Amino acid sequence: MNIAVTGSSGFVGQVLCRELLANGHCLRLLVHSRQPSNPTNDRVRYVQGDLSDKRSLETLVPGVEVVIHLAAKLSAIDEHDPVLFHTNTAGTQYLLDAAKEAGVKQFIYLSSVNAYVARPTDESMDESRQLRTSGVPGYDLSKAIAQSMVLEANSPAMATIVLAPTAIIGPYDQQPSPLGQAIIKIYNGKIPALFPGGVDFVDVRDVVKAIVNTLSMGKAGKAYLLGGKWESLKYLTKKISLVKGKPISIPVLPAWLLLFLLPFIGMWAKITKHSPLYTKYAVDNLLYSNRQIDYSLAMADLQYHPRPLAETIQDTIAWFKTSGYLI
């Protein structure tokens, strides 16, 4: 099968492309930089461009049966980011338009659990939960709008399907991702303090398997939540400590104190010209993330069965060690 992929250089994208090639598919990848001078696989073609470049998208999609749209700008800042918002929303619409015009049969979009309203956090969340319609025009709202665009574009000519994973961690994290960096910092005891929050974690390998299964099992016009297990940062640190074989001592601050310190953390970040360690967005996401993600629809339709979080943490740290990120 000929498949176009955006976001192939990202964490999920790299793992996904390796799996798709192993399954015999031919790939067309949208990349920011020029293609390698010596391509290692004759089943991979590179198209230089980005989501804001309509011409590159029109070059990407002709002749492919499926588009898998992973690319998105990420940010944990508290202010409106117009470039992020435009890329994630208008860029998705540009890609949808190009795919429809080219006669693409299936369009798979990787959304996020953050596209949904998290509260009430102690009540089960499934795909019927309301999407965000307001708030700072940042990452969360952009994913909600883009998800709506994708589902509205579903038609007999082009089936559109949405997958919305929770917080993705796991091995093969080449960059590493923000969560991968957090695991490395916790392992090395380089985070000054934790606070009583957490998220639902899911293994990148399970997300990728769900994407691959969607090619043949996904139902047109459907959204699927891909969850794993909600755990606190304290639990994550404890599990990392067990894998390390040594205690990791990081104090847990009460939430009120961290919220009080946020303005000072932001000021220090501006003075030092570094990204703030914590932002209100990041803190809210950890304090008020939903604790009961219902992914039973993905289990039924996509044969989705996430592995235990402890296994993911062990495999992730082992990979970071093998790759030289940890000693």
What are 18-37's pLDDT values in tens digits? 999 999 999 999 998 766 54
Topology of the domain covering 2-174+200-230+291-307: Rossmann fold (3.40.50)
Strands 66-69 and 2-6: parallel
Average pLDDT, the chain: 91
- Quick one: pLDDT at residue 257? 79
pLDDT exceeds cutoff 60 at 155: yes
Full-model pTM: 0.93
- Quick one: pLDDT at residue 40? 66
Mean pLDDT for 286-314 is 96
pLDDT band at 41 (very low <50, low <70, confident <90, very high): confident
**292 against 282, higher pLDDT:** 292
pLDDT band at 77 (very low <50, low <70, confident <90, very high): low
**Domain boundaries defined on the chain:** 2-174+200-230+291-307
Mean pLDDT for 208-212 is 98
Three-state SS at 11? helix
> What secondary structure does DSSP assign to 35-85, as a single string?
PPSS-S-TTEEEEE--TT-HHHHHHHSTT-SEEEE--------SS--HHHH
The residues facing 167 across adjacent strands are 201
The conformational region for residue 237 under phi > 0 = left, psi -120 to 50 = alpha, else beta, is alpha
- Quick one: pLDDT at residue 280? 74
pLDDT band at 277 (very low <50, low <70, confident <90, very high): low
Say if CB 210 and CB 202 are below 8 A apart. Answer: no
- Quick one: pLDDT at residue 307? 97
Catalytic annotation, residues: 139
CA dist 97 and 91 (Å) reads 10
Please give the angle made by the CA atoms of 150, 6 and 184, to the nearest 5 degrees.
Answer: 110
pLDDT in tens, 105-128: 999 999 999 999 999 988 999 999
- Quick one: pLDDT at residue 273? 66
- Quick one: pLDDT at residue 76? 62
Mean pLDDT for 136-147 is 90
